[in-house]
Structure 1
Amino acid sequence: MNDTFLKACKGEQTEYTPVWFMRQAGRYLPEYQKVRGKVSFLELCKSPELCTEVTLQPIDIFGFDAAILFSDILIPMEAMNLKLEFHEGAGPVFPNPIRNKDDVNKLHVPDPEESMPFVLETIRLLRKELNVPLIGFSGAPFTLATYLIEGGSSKVFLKTKRMMFQDPTLYSSLLDKITDCTSKYLRAQAKAGAQALQIFDSWAGILAPVDYLRFALPYVQRIIADLREVTDVPIIYFANNGATLLPHTTTAGADVLGLDWRINIKDAIAGVGNHAVQGNLDPIALFLPQKELEKRIATLLDDAKDAKGHIFNLGHGIQPQTPPDQARIAVDAVHRLSGKP
């Protein structure tokens, strides 16, 4: 197996810089669209055979150095006794959002083997097929809570912040349940065979640092501490739009810190201490002409040369409009410029 990605996560010497992309399995690929055209998004997420197929697609096509399980961060929230819908053009929707104590009391912390066996079966199937490491993942508790409280996506997160500030007891009771669910879910993924785990805090950047310290970080720390008791797989923590939070995310307990494109990776490395880093090309930079894109990648690789370990990635998920050939150019450039034999 090509274990370059795992070595980089652990800060070990690698022959070249490993590369994978967030959302590398998905809408920009015609091969994915062909599969997706047969089923709804939730049906796809709950089919181990189809999830295995779409997870493998970018590995076979582009030669990424790691695969990430195809699923969605909200799958375990549905298992907590919530109705989840995906609407075209609107994304995920929870028709019955969390508003009060009774709503929180109705939530239960599920057993992943019983409530989400399709995710764990996908992991087991992928381990039989892959020649690169498999990354499992979850959302971070704060990010997951925003969807439950808002009822879906948001721009200003008014309902979430109002609950945080006006009813912190209710907020913490909700976050406690989400944290317990997430911890069990990631434990089960590691047990099923995931070789690394990424925690996505997609909305962490909407918080002031003082609020992040109180309302988001402690729950991530709790999950990682819990995972450390049962597994030694590398853990990646990605706080999107989190450049101002970097002094705090270093205390989360993760092995690797994911970085978006809003900070120079060289500056980030100087502030993360004994952590490997992952990132951080602007996803829209994939639309650059080939020579400019390769120059941007060369600069990023050079800026990351002093990292304890560096995994090349985008600063967020690849956009659906991205031409697949541009992804191929980027992967090939990372490999060539970093010295892959």
Structure 2
Amino acid sequence: MSAPTLQNDVFLRALARQPTEYTPVWLMRQAGRYLPEYNATRARAGSFLGLAKNPDYATEVTLQPLARFPLDAAILFSDILTIPDAMGLGLSFETGEGPRFARPLRTEADVAALTAPDMNELRYVFDAVTQIRRELAGKVPLIGFSGSPWTLACYMVEGAGSSDYRTVKTMMYQRPDLMHRILEINAEAVAVYLNAQIQAGAQVVMIFDSWGGVLADGLFQEFSLAYTRKALAKLIRENDGRSVPSVVFTKGGGLWIDDIADLGCDAIGLDWTVNLGKARERVGDRVALQGNLDPMTLFGGEDRIRSEVVRTLDSFGNHPGHVFNLGHGISQFTPPEAVVTLVDAVHQHSRGLRG
């Protein structure tokens, strides 16, 4: 799609490991329940799915944090479970309980019947991407995203979130053939889905491997990493004459930074348990790094927020290739004024580092 000239490309330059005048910042889950305006829009939509599946509402809430804070990127408002929903698993969101599938994959027959989703079922996502790009008018880049093949499979087999992943791990250990079939279908679907977002206007794509960290070493490589690699290998790398970078975030993936850096992505998202400086030394110039402030820091008060931002930025040092973010999604209980402090501290201190 043709679009206005990008007014702020600092995020894209950081992902390309090019020098920037300051460190760009955006927040995972930046359009969310910590903002009163989001809650008002969600109430008008009637439900989370009513919000996510309506391009007008999705556009509205995507833009809300940018009206409040001088963030350096927008991220599509959607959910990681759109793909299995389009596969007919019956997604719903119960208040206070999170996502639930009415028809989880539990038997050999369930897995045999699984097919890739019809992308027309996800047209609302692509329409939202196009509409958001138009409304952004070149202000900042737009990030599209998907869950990873493994993370999607966890929800598809468990039927909901889990504390021990017993159901999905039982299938993985007892019937790895079934698990590999699910993951193969998911990897293909993730690639097609992200490419459709790119064609609709997403300028960066991110894969959230939210549950990769629940796997043992060796099994992570077999059941998560291998299928994220398959999805990445099929992604469109250039659109509208500009490269389309990719980011992979594995919560609990600090052990496998080197493996993730070799996936073929442009950047790795790090959770808050990882030392940013040591991670930079490990990956060298292979990838950019994104992260990785503990989201709970935002409850520490202005002085502590600023000191933790300084510590994080100083840990990475005055090097290209850093995007500031939280180490996971922002808490719904976060006071918005804490985000004002955070963004200001990132921009102010990183300009000083560059100076």
TM-score, normalised with respect to structure 1? 0.97
Give the secondary-structure state (helix, strand or coil) at the position aligned to 1:71.
coil
Determine the structure 2 residue equivalent to 1:200. Answer: 208
Describe the superposition over 1:55-110 as per-residue Cα deviations: whole angstroms up to 9, x where unpaired: 00001101110000000000111111211011111100012110122212332212
Deviation at 1:247, TM superposition (A): 2.4
Could you give the per-residue CA deviations for residues 221-254 of structure 1, whole angstroms, max 9, x where no partner exists?
0111111566530100000011112122112211
Q: SS of the residue aligned with 1:70?
A: coil
Which residue is 1:234 aligned to?
245
Task: Choose 13-22 or 269-278, whichever is displaced more.
Answer: 269-278
The more displaced of 299-308 and 205-214 is: 299-308
3-state DSSP class of the match of 2:163? coil
The correspondence of residues 151-300 of structure 1 with structure 2, limited to 5 A, is 151-228=159-236, 232-273=243-284, 274-300=286-312
Deviation at 1:272, TM superposition (A): 1.6
What root-mean-square deviation, in Å, do the aligned CA atoms of Structure 1 and Structure 2 show?
1.4
Structure 1 residue 264: Cα displacement? 1.1
Aligned pairs for 1:70-149 (under 5 A) are 70-112=77-119, 114-130=120-136, 131-149=139-157
Gaps of 5+ in 2: 1-6
**Structure 2: distance between partners of 1:270 and 1:123:** 36
Is the Cα contact below 8 Å between 2:247 and 2:269 reproduced in 1?
Answer: yes
1:17 aligns with 2:23: yes
| Deviation >6 Å, runs of 4+ | none
Partner of 1:8: 14
Query: What secondary structure, in the 3-state scheme, does the structure 2 residue paired with 1:277 have?
Result: strand
CA distance in 2 between partners of 1:10 and 1:209 (Å): 29
Q: Any conservation in 2 of the 1:278–1:312 contact (CA below 8 Å)?
A: yes
CA distance in 1, matches of 2:278, 2:268: 13
Q: Which residue of 2 aligns with 1:50?
A: 57
| Matched AA of 2:312 | L
Paired amino acid for 1:2: N
Distance 2:182 2:148 in 1: 13
Partner amino acid for 1:263? V
Gaps of 5+ in 1: none
Q: Supply the AA of the counterpart residue of 2:174.
A: Q
Query: In 1, distance between residues paired with 2:337 and 2:118?
Result: 41
User: What is the rounded CA distance, in whole Å, between the counterparts of 2:238 and 2:70 in structure 1?
Assistant: 31
**Quick one: which amino acid aligns to residue 258 of structure 2?**
P
Contact 1:7 1:13 in 2 (8 A): yes
Q: Secondary structure of the equivalent of 2:351? A: coil
Q: C-alpha offsets along residues 125-150 of structure 1, whole Å, 9 cap, x if unaligned?
A: 11112110000000001001000111
Question: Does the alignment pair 1:326 with 2:333?
Answer: no
- Alignment partner of 2:8: what SS? coil
Change (3 A) 1:229 1:18: closer
Preserved contact between residue 237 and residue 254 of structure 1 (Cα < 8 Å): yes
Maintained 8 Å contact 1:15/1:339: yes
Structure 2 equivalent of residue 67 of structure 1 = 74
Contact 1:269–1:307 (CA under 8 A) maintained in structure 2: no
Counting aligned pairs with the same residue, the percent is: 46
Counterpart-to-counterpart distance in 1, 2:131 and 2:62: 11
What's the TM-score once normalised by structure 2's chain length? Answer: 0.93
Q: Give the aligned residue type for 1:13.
A: P
Contact 1:81 1:106 (C-alpha < 8 Å) held by counterparts: no
Give, in whole Å, the separation in 1 of the partners of 2:238 and 2:272.
Answer: 33
